[in-house]
Structure 1
Amino acid sequence: MTGARILFLSHTHVFGAFRVGSHHYARELARLGAEVVHLSTPISLAHRVTGRVPPGVAATVPRDAHRDADGVTHLVPRTLLPRPWGSFRVARALTRAGIEARFDAILIDQPLLWDDTVRDLSDTLVYRPTDLYPDGLKRSLQERILASADAVVATSGAVLQGLGHLTLPSLVIENGVDLGAFTDTTTDAETRPVVCVYVGALDARFDWQQVRTWATAHPDVPFVIAGPQPAPPASLPQNVELVGPVPYAELPRLLHGARAGLLPLSDDPSNESRSPMKLYEYLAAGLAVVSRETPGIRTDTEAGIHTYDSPETADAALVAALRHPSPNVAGRRAAENHSWAAKAGELATFLAGLAD
């Protein structure tokens, strides 16, 4: 990848609480010698006025192009109207930021960033879907992207299948883990405290009722829930602590103080196609995992992954995770097969093949 210019058009910027796949790919491709630009969904005046983007959050996001310590250039444009409305165009935003608007490859995972200038910015356009869009605006934009794309790299088999019949070259690369950030072998001899932790979004994909049931059944076990704007639908037991968003750099310390990582996925259809990064981050940090079973998350008792398929089996899965040897050394070994460095290498090889 040395000397290659790569553009990511992504749904999430790097200056918030979340790290998504495009952030990790951008970092790893930059380490392989590529010049990487990461442009994410614009922050609109409409979103700021209505409070969908709080003023304090917007203030932390640079207005100009920002080059990070890994050499990735991040750009979060400002617009009057949300995408895809208004006059925003990717090519214009790059030029205004002083970034040459020509790339060896473009990877787009945010359908809302599609416009008629994107195709002309590179000879290689890859759609990298991370979710299912069965209908609505994102579905129609996705169809336009697929009509112009040269290839598809999906985050799960279910996401790829949801695109329908494809004649384009396609590949599934599931989400991975930054092993260097989460692994801590210095504490392997120390049994972790009996604490359960969840880190991530607290939206419709999160099952508050399951957390409440677990906490009620195990009043002596602390349950730590970390995520932005926690809004439980009803009161929670006293052993559930809502700590709000935790900066990515502080997540390893939080996880190293727990024994089990939670993935209480709701019955929202989108969970069937997800490739949760937290699965391998939990394992790399030495936690056992308890999760609702999905096509991408199955029980692996040796690795410390315990799943349930109904409320009736959820408690047994939690108990099994808490009884798993701690720290979960076998789980850490399993996570080593899912490093972002390896996945970026696979992606780089795929991109090189498209260019041949």
Structure 2
Amino acid sequence: MDLVVASLEAWDGVWRRNQHLVAELLRRDPALRVLFVEPATDPLHTVLGAGPPRRGRGLRPAPQLEGVGPDALWLLEPTKWLPRRVDRHLDERWARQVLRAVRTLGMTDPLLWVNDPAGAMLVEATTWPSFYDVTDDWTLADRPAAELERVTAQEHVLLTRCDEVVVCSPALAASKGGDRPTTLIRNGVDTAAYAVPHRRPLDLPSAPVAVYVGTLHRDRLDVELCEATARALAGAACLVLVGPDALPAEEHARLAEAGVVLLGARPSAEVPAYVQHADVLVVPHVVTPFTDSLDPIKLYEYQASGRLVVSTPVAGFRDADDPLVTVAPGERFVAAVVGAVTRHVGSTPGEQGDAERARQWDWSRRVDELEQVIGRLRPSARRA
């Protein structure tokens, strides 16, 4: 079987939902081939200040994965040459790049997995069996009106024309399943990676640390709360943020000035070490309709580590049935973190972990559920 994945994330060292699920599907099925479509590069945007310009790497074989054949996984990184307001046919050009790659690989009737709403263009342009995997409600994000209008229109196509709709959270099941059935497949964790002790990372400060792992983005991260937490910990501990940094330069500078240690992105294989060696794990997230739609991967990673967690009342954490998770709204969050660090400094990494409980969140369980969706979309199942 052939599978085309229109992903919101690149295939890189920071693995998220799509990479974990695709890799496990490939290991289970030696006959499966996957074209993984990454977000397009934007040379014009980068040359205006976000970094050195780079054109997309196009179609190429993926780095070798353990247990996966050399020609099973292909990556496509398109190039976005002009802003959408200038190139009104941008999405059509993107879709044509994907279709050319599909033809180059000899895929004749692939299954389409849409995570990026832009994939609506492929749903309209083909008769491929398809499913929409909703991991974020971008219609609720803080975006310009034109972008929200475009995403809303794309999602309408996906919800009405895809054969199946998969969601990662109960909130998304409620908001996207009003007119059609949905399948809930939550996020997960690489249980094996958290079942063994890891050495303390060399760049993790030696002082007691409150650690956050995740992408630094205004959609999720409460920058002001991070500043306040870092200042309250000063002299006794420090706040460490580990993950890709998508914050504006001004906010990055404010965090650094407040004493926050920003380590940047780390490969997924290294993340368990940062989580295990935290004195306290924190989730200083904003509470918005957008964050309420999420099923945070860090929920499962944090719980698998057995460390104490302090979170704002965001989806996932506020409903966690776990004595190690403390939920504190903004005005109490700082005090809760300071108190937790004071009480739990020096506890042995992972000593409170519950490996048996964590196995229920393993990505392999999520792939079991995803295979049922794919099974319903295979040609033999569709003919029956």
Would the alpha carbon gap of residues 50 and 226 (structure 1) be closer, same or farther in structure 2, given more than 3 Å must change? same
Question: Hey, what does 1:250 align to over in structure 2?
Answer: 270
Would the alpha carbon gap of residues 291 and 197 (structure 1) be closer, same or farther in structure 2, given more than 3 Å must change? same
The code of the aligned residue for 1:207 comes to D
Deviation (angstroms), 1:103: 4.3
Question: Hey, what does 1:208 align to over in structure 2?
Answer: 223
Distance 1:277 1:321 in 2: 23
Secondary structure, in 3 states, of the residue corresponding to 2:262?
strand
Distance 1:179 1:274 in 2: 21
Question: Hey, what does 1:197 align to over in structure 2?
Answer: 211
Question: Hey, what does 2:185 align to over in structure 1?
Answer: 173
Give the conservation status (yes or no) of the 8 Å contact 1:183–1:332.
no
Q: 1:207-226 residue pairs with structure 2 within 5 A?
A: 207-219=222-234, 220-226=236-242
Question: Hey, what does 1:37 align to over in structure 2?
Answer: 35
**1:186-245 deviation digits (Å, cap 9, x = unpaired):** 77xxxx973211122222121122222223333211211123255347365665212223
Would the alpha carbon gap of residues 155 and 300 (structure 1) be closer, same or farther in structure 2, given more than 3 Å must change? closer
Question: Hey, what does 1:63 align to over in structure 2?
Answer: 58
Matched, 1:80 2:81: yes
Give the conservation status (yes or no) of the 8 Å contact 1:303–1:331.
no
Secondary structure, in 3 states, of the residue corresponding to 1:43?
coil
Q: 1:181-330 residue pairs with structure 2 within 5 A?
A: 181-185=193-197, 194-204=208-218, 205-219=220-234, 220-227=236-243, 228-229=245-246, 231-232=251-252, 234=254, 239-298=259-318, 300=320, 302=322, 304-312=324-332, 314-316=334-336, 319-320=339-340, 323=343, 326-330=348-352
Which of 332, 337, 340 is residue 363 of structure 2 equivalent to?
A: 340
Q: 1:2-41 residue pairs with structure 2 within 5 A?
A: 4-15=1-12, 18-33=14-29, 34-41=32-39
Would the alpha carbon gap of residues 354 and 208 (structure 1) be closer, same or farther in structure 2, given more than 3 Å must change? same
Give the conservation status (yes or no) of the 8 Å contact 2:10–2:38.
yes
Would the alpha carbon gap of residues 236 and 157 (structure 1) be closer, same or farther in structure 2, given more than 3 Å must change? same
Would the alpha carbon gap of residues 291 and 326 (structure 1) be closer, same or farther in structure 2, given more than 3 Å must change? farther
Sequence identity percentage: 24
Give the conservation status (yes or no) of the 8 Å contact 1:210–1:311.
no
Would the alpha carbon gap of residues 327 and 336 (structure 1) be closer, same or farther in structure 2, given more than 3 Å must change? farther
| Alignment: residue pair count | 344
Deviation (angstroms), 1:92: 4.1
Runs of 5+ in structure 2 lacking a partner?
141-147, 200-205
Give the conservation status (yes or no) of the 8 Å contact 2:207–2:237.
no
Distance 2:198 2:62 in 1: 33
Secondary structure, in 3 states, of the residue corresponding to 1:88?
helix
Deviation (angstroms), 1:308: 1.3
Which of 135, 150, 155 is residue 130 of structure 1 equivalent to?
A: 135
Distance 2:6 2:269 in 1: 24
Which of 132, 154, 170 is residue 141 of structure 1 equivalent to?
A: 154
| Displaced runs of 4 or more, over 6 A | none
TM, length-normalised to structure 1: 0.83
Distance 1:116 1:311 in 2: 46
Distance 2:45 2:105 in 1: 26
Answer with 171-180 or 74-83: which moved more.
74-83
The code of the aligned residue for 2:262 comes to L
Runs of 5+ in structure 1 lacking a partner?
none
